[in-house]
Amino acid sequence: MEHETYQRVSDSQTTLTELMIPSYANFGGKVHGGILLSLMDKVAYVCATKHAGSYCVTVAVDGVEFLSPVEVGDLVSLKASVNYVGRTSMIVGIRVEATNPKTRQYKHTNSCYFTMAAKNEHGELIDVPGLILENEEQLRRFCEGKHLKSISKQKRELLKSNLSGDSIDALLKLIQNDKAQYIVG
């Protein structure tokens, strides 16, 4: 182990607040999903790098859903915490909230999980410090992160292996009721 250290969740907790300006809008007048994704990546990076004490990279993103639109003029706050640490990776949980500053109307728009890995100056993966869990919620989130890591791994393996040996006939049968046409030119 490179790191024998443990750090508190609160040591790396990060909140980023940004005003949604008109240039962030899509053709429908709402904020582009990509703007929010970029802010999520930024806050995940800050939180992960504070915990790891090193440069970090984004490995995977889970649970991003845009269930209610964010409006131009809203204040968007992204609250990030390290929920889980493995050997070299961390799962950062992000809660996204949008508030209309005039009406003070508030909505929770999304919660998602960014897996970040720590690297050294040579681009090699390095061990991250452990996590001190100080309450039941942090313990629960750590266990959920462990579960998410295992499910994500199984999902990747399933996707890779599941259909690779199937014949064209079997694949065509699978999509016979879908909106797709197989036309080889």
Ligand X SMILES: CC(C)(COP(=O)(O)OP(=O)(O)OC[C@H]1O[C@@H](n2cnc3c(N)ncnc32)[C@H](O)[C@@H]1OP(=O)(O)O)[C@@H](O)C(=O)NCCC(=O)NCCS
Contact 51, 10 (CB under 8 A): no
Q: Name the phi and psi angles at 13, rounded to 5.
A: -60, 135
Contact 69, 110 (CB under 8 A): no
Segment interacting with ligand X, rule: CB under 6 A, options 15-23, 28-36, 53-61, 169-177: 53-61
The answer to whether 112 contacts ligand X (rule: CB under 6 A) is no
Nearer to ligand X by Cβ, of 117 and 131: the residue is 117
Closest distance of CB 143 from ligand X, Å: 15
Q: Note the Cα 47 to chain centre separation in Å.
A: 12
Closest distance of CB 86 from ligand X, Å: 2
Show the binding pattern over residues 6-45: x = contacts ligand X (CB under 6 A), - = does not. Answer: ----------------------------------------
By CB under 6 A, how many residues form the interface with ligand X? 13
Segment interacting with ligand X, rule: CB under 6 A, options 5-13, 44-52, 54-62, 74-82: 54-62
Binder among 60, 61, 64, 75 for ligand X (CB under 6 A): 60
**What is the rounded CA–CA span in Å between residue 172 and residue 185?**
17
The answer to whether 117 contacts ligand X (rule: CB under 6 A) is yes
The answer to whether 64 contacts ligand X (rule: CB under 6 A) is no
Residue with tokens 């266990």, as numbered in its chain: 143
Report the C-alpha dihedral over residues 84, 86, 87, 88, rounded to 10 degrees. -70
**What is the rounded CA–CA span in Å between residue 75 and residue 10?**
23
